[in-house]
């Protein structure tokens, strides 16, 4: 195999993602039906339309009296409008009486309005004059203190789009639609392997030149936090045959394989060679126009994604966020990008490196939101990962961003 630079040019992030996409679209055709109570964090496989109008009856937003607004016009403290009360509506029951002129009916919050009523007077504006006679001390307008039929959503309206990640509030929405089973993507199986002669397990004491396996555990945590079914396969030394057999097993057992480390050029070339030998189409990019993360390699082996991530811990974390997470959460296929929170930059950020840049930042509460403060430090420094609350993406064509400008950030917490 010739040198990698002859065979591959450095790809942009979007070129790298586009080169992988055609081979893995079948991932997103898989569907698993799960109970609603197990759906937190899972990803919807289809648009969810409203099965009915919600609410499907006119509903009071106050404790008070359902009335015809016209009967209250001109009412005041000194001159209340007098109404005949027809009784009380109970929660969960449909009213049997309809309101005529000068009539009202007591109603709880969430209660169903009777025929003829077009508004609700809150309880604080009612005076009870004894028997069935009530006074209204302040006029209400038609539609006041109630929710109309279909005001929340109308039947057939798409409420959740495909590839939405289910949060607590989506669980509640799905329950309101009567869905106790949900169609979601199966959890992605992600295998993580740490490589390199210098890498040792956390329980061993490093000798000079050795490092404990930081990336394996960082990547395991990142994959689990994305909702993947992730497993750490341990450490493999710079040995072609051992690496080949572990990789072959991992490709069988996972959808996505992450090789971490291999900071040496030799090990990276070894990994690149194996990716090409293990199956079709093999290696698709060798190097990304990304900072940090330039030495990233990636490809597809018989329908499975495989990535070689940089050895520096912060670089590995950034590459995971930029290149790996979008497959696990389905965002590579979303037509609309989820909006990101914003903050104000505390100091100038220079780029102009001809690469996309992902800058780790701290978020400091500020008068009107967040101040975004770059975390200085080389990507080989572990502490910078822990200090970072978020990352800011500087696009390819941006020379830099001035202090005081608003920037979007992606939370790392």
Domain shared by 176 and 70, yes or no? no
Domain shared by 311 and 196, yes or no? yes
Domain shared by 322 and 381, yes or no? no
Cα distances (angstroms) measured from residue 270 to each of 157, 198, 262, 290: 52, 16, 9, 22
The answer to whether position 248 is within a domain reads yes
Domain shared by 285 and 394, yes or no? no
CATH of residue 45: 3.90.105.10
d(CA 350, CA 66): 63
Say if residue 165's pLDDT is above 80.
Answer: yes
Domain shared by 191 and 180, yes or no? no
The answer to whether position 36 is within a domain reads no
Say if residue 3's pLDDT is above 50.
Answer: no
Domain shared by 273 and 366, yes or no? no
Task: Could you list the beta-strand ranges (E) of 185-228.
Answer: 189-195, 199-200, 211-212
d(CA 36, CA 40): 8
324 secondary structure, DSSP code: I
90: number of Cβ within 10 Å: 13
State the average pLDDT over residues 299-318.
91
CATH of residue 314: 3.40.980.10
pLDDT one-digit tens code per residue, 6-34: 455 678 889 999 999 999 999 999 999 99
Give the pLDDT band of residue 382 (cuts 50, 70, 90). confident
Say if residue 125's pLDDT is above 70.
Answer: yes
Tell me which of 93, 123, 147 is where a domain ends: 147
Bridge-partner residues for 134, per DSSP? 83, 128
Tell me which of 119, 147, 175 is where a domain ends: 147
Domain shared by 218 and 274, yes or no? yes
Who has greater pLDDT, 240 or 182?
A: 182
d(CA 411, CA 48): 27
State the average pLDDT over residues 208-232.
94
Please tell me the predicted confidence (pLDDT) of residue 5.
43
Alpha helices in 72-180 (DSSP H): 168-176
The answer to whether position 177 is within a domain reads yes
pLDDT one-digit tens code per residue, 169-206: 999 999 989 999 999 999 999 999 999 888 999 999 99
Task: Could you list the beta-strand ranges (E) of 57-163.
Answer: 59-60, 64-67, 81-88, 103-107, 119-122, 126-128, 133-136, 146-147, 158-160
d(CA 121, CA 131): 19
pLDDT one-digit tens code per residue, 354-381: 788 888 899 999 888 899 999 887 766 7
Please tell me the predicted confidence (pLDDT) of residue 362.
93
Please tell me the predicted confidence (pLDDT) of residue 271.
86
Say if residue 266's pLDDT is above 80.
Answer: no
Contacts of 256 by beta carbon, 8 Å cutoff, 6+ apart: 188, 189, 190, 191, 228, 304, 305, 306, 307, 324, 327, 328
State the average pLDDT over residues 246-254.
96
- Please say whether the beta carbons of 123 and 112 come within 8 A: no
The answer to whether position 35 is within a domain reads no
The answer to whether position 170 is within a domain reads yes
d(CA 128, CA 65): 11
Say if residue 262's pLDDT is above 70.
Answer: no
Domain shared by 202 and 314, yes or no? yes
CATH of residue 354: 2.40.340.10
State the average pLDDT over residues 248-265.
86
Number of domains the chain is built from: 4
d(CA 349, CA 337): 24
Q: Within 13 Å of residue 298, how many CA atoms lie on the same side as its CB?
A: 31
The model's pTM is 0.83
Tell me which of 283, 311, 333 is where a domain ends: 333
Domain shared by 288 and 225, yes or no? yes
For 135, the domain range is 59-147
Q: How far is CA 45 from the centre of its chain?
A: 15
The answer to whether position 162 is within a domain reads yes
Domain shared by 109 and 176, yes or no? no
Domain shared by 66 and 93, yes or no? yes
Domain shared by 217 and 325, yes or no? yes
CATH of residue 89: 2.170.190.11
Please tell me the predicted confidence (pLDDT) of residue 4.
42
Residue the block writes with tokens 């569907």: 31
Who has greater pLDDT, 259 or 9?
A: 259
Q: Minimal CA–CA distance to 259: which of 279, 281, 283?
A: 283
State the average pLDDT over residues 237-264.
89
The answer to whether position 346 is within a domain reads yes
b/e map 262-299, b = 16+ CB within 10 Å: bbeeebbbbbbbbbbebbeebbbbbbbbbbbbebbbbb
d(CA 407, CA 361): 11
pLDDT one-digit tens code per residue, 322-332: 999 999 998 88
The answer to whether position 351 is within a domain reads yes
């Amino acid at each position: 195999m010739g040198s990698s630079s002859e065979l591959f040019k450095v790809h942009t992030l979007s070129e790298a993602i586009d080169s992988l996409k055609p081979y893995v679209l079948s991932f997103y055709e898989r569907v698993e039906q799960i109970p609603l109570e197990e759906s937190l964090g899972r990803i919807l496989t289809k648009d969810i339309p409203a099965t009915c109008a919600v609410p499907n009856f006119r509903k009071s937003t106050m404790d008070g009296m359902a009335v015809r607004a016209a009967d209250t016009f001109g009412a005041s403290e000194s001159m209340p409008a007098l109404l005949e009360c027809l009784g009380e509506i109970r929660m969960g029951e449909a009213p049997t009486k309809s309101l005529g002129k000068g009539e009202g009916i007591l109603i709880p919050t969430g209660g169903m309005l009777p025929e003829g009523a077009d508004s609700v007077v809150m309880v604080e504006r009612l005076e009870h004059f004894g028997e069935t006679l009530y006074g209204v001390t302040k006029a209400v307008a038609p539609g006041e203190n109630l929710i109309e039929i279909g005001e929340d959503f109308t039947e057939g309206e798409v409420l959740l789009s495909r590839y939405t990640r289910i949060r607590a509030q989506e669980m509640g929405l799905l329950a309101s639609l009567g869905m106790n089973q949900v169609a979601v993507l199966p959890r992605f199986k992600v295998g993580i392997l740490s490589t390199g002669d210098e890498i040792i397990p956390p329980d061993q004491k490093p000798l000079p030149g050795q490092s404990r396996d930081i990336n394996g555990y960082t990547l395991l945590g990142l994959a689990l936090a994305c909702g993947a079914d992730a497993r750490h396969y341990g450490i493999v030394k710079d040995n072609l045959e051992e690496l080949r057999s572990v990789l072959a097993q991992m490709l069988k057992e996972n959808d996505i394989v992450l090789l971490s480390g291999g900071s040496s050029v030799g090990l990276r070339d070894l990994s690149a060679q194996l990716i090409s030998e293990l199956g079709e189409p093999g290696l698709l990019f060798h190097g990304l126009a990304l900072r940090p993360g330039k030495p990233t390699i990636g490809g597809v082996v018989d329908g499975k994604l495989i990535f070689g991530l940089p050895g520096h811990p912060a670089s590995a974390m950034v590459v995971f966020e930029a290149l790996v997470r979008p497959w696990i959460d389905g965002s590579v296929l979303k037509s609309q990008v989820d909006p990101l929170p914003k903050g104000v930059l505390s100091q100038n950020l220079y780029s102009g490196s001809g690469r996309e840049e992902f800058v780790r930042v701290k978020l400091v509460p500020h008068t009107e939101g967040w101040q975004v403060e770059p975390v200085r430090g080389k990507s080989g420094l572990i502490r910078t990962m822990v200090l970072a609350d978020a990352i800011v993406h500087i696009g390819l064509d941006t020379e830099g961003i001035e202090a005081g400008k608003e920037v979007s950030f992606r939370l790392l917490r």
